[in-house]
Amino acid sequence: RESGPLKVMISGAPASGKGTQCRMIVEKYGLVHISTGDLLRAEVSSGTEIGNKAKEYMDNGMLVPDQVVTDMVVSRLSQHDVRERGWLLDGYPRSYAQAQSLENMKIRPDIFIVLEVPDDILIDRCVGRRLDPETGKIYHIKNFPPENDEVSARIVTRSDDTFEKVKSRLETYKQNSESVLPTYSDLLNQIDGNRQVEVVFKEIDSLLQKICDNASASKLAK
Ligand code: AP5
């Protein structure tokens, strides 16, 4: 592994828990969280040209064209804080072309995490998901209800979280995920995401800790 701050990719089907785990990773490791889904939703809600173009794809559960997403990610990765704090790429790369764009720029992670969750559970998680637009915190009406009435009153449902749209997002994921994995086969860590949030995080945390420990050991040896 090269020295410098930690670089992490996290992947998995819709509602496999990427966003939930990313919040916990960021809290502990201070990495810059780059979620293409969040970046695209921000473009849609501000009504930008990119947002208007992306909305139709997102509402149909399809991938937004590679170039649009890659430009967004590359521009975020080039900012100063990323070089200083390291990065956590969430939901990117999602196609062979996206992975190749990063490879061509010699941008590689230290680890590629995939969260595995059975389909029926994913659908239930999506349909029950709610977001707090003020804090970005992720809830679930049954599993993780808001902590008070104030939050309850403002939580929203994502427009692509209906039963039909989730099915097509899942289909899109299945069509594309296999084409990304070979690029990262040496860094791949598949994790059972169908366990309690804290249990999943514990496993991710110990993997990241190991990378950090190895990096400091090799620094000392020099
Ligand atoms: P994106 O926003 O990335 O959506 P996604 O991949 O479908 O993932 P989600 O955000 O739905 O789920 P998550 O895994 O983060 O789960 P969460 O933690 O919220 O992408 C949206 C769209 O943007 C795409 O469809 C595409 O159109 C476009 N796009 C994005 N990236 C792109 C790219 N690279 N290229 C092209 N297009 C792109 O959890 C879900 C629910 O489960 C929550 O309610 C949560 O509370 C609950 N939960 C989480 N963990 C657990 C657990 N362990 N046990 C029980 N419940 C849990």
Catalytic residue status for 167: no
If one counts every other C-beta atom within 10 angstroms of the C-beta of residue 24, the result is: 16
Q: What number is the ipTM of this complex?
A: 0.97
CA distance 175 to 58: 16
Buried b (16+ CB within 10 A) or exposed e, 153-188: eebeeeebbeeebbbebbebbeeeeeebeebbeebe
Q: Determine the pLDDT at residue 24.
A: 97
Distance, first Cα to last Cα, the chain: 14
Burial 130-150 (b: 16+ CB within 10 A, else e): bbbeeeebbbbeeeeebeeee
Give, using CA atoms, the residue closest to atom 8 of ligand 1. Answer: 14
* CA nearest neighbour of 117 among 201, 192, 200, 196: 192
Q: In the annotation, is 129 catalytic?
A: yes
19 within ligand 1 shell (Cβ under 6 A): yes
Catalytic residue (one of 1, 137, 158, 195): 158
* Structural contact between residues 156 and 131, judged by C-beta atoms closer than 8 angstroms: yes
- At which residue do the structure tokens 């999943």 appear? 200
Mean pLDDT by 10 residues, the chain (222 residues): 85 97 97 96 94 94 96 95 96 97 97 97 96 94 95 95 94 94 97 98 98 84 76
Please give the CATH architecture assigned to the domain spanning 7-193.
3-Layer(aba) Sandwich (3.40)
**148: alpha, beta or left? (left if phi > 0; alpha if psi -120 to 50):** beta
Task: Establish whether 125 is a catalytic residue.
Answer: no
131 lines ligand 1 (CB under 6 A): no
The structure's pTM equals 0.94
- The tokens for 198 are 């804290």
Domain boundaries, the chain: 7-193
Q: Extract the runs of DSSP E, i.e. beta strands, from the chain.
A: 7-12, 32-35, 87-90, 111-116, 129-131, 138-140, 188-192
Q: In this predicted model, what pLDDT tens digit does every residue of 174-184 receive, in sequence order?
A: 999 999 999 99
180 in ligand 1 pocket by Cβ < 6 Å?
no
Per-residue pLDDT, 198: 98
Measured distance CA(126)–CA(143) in Å, rounded: 12
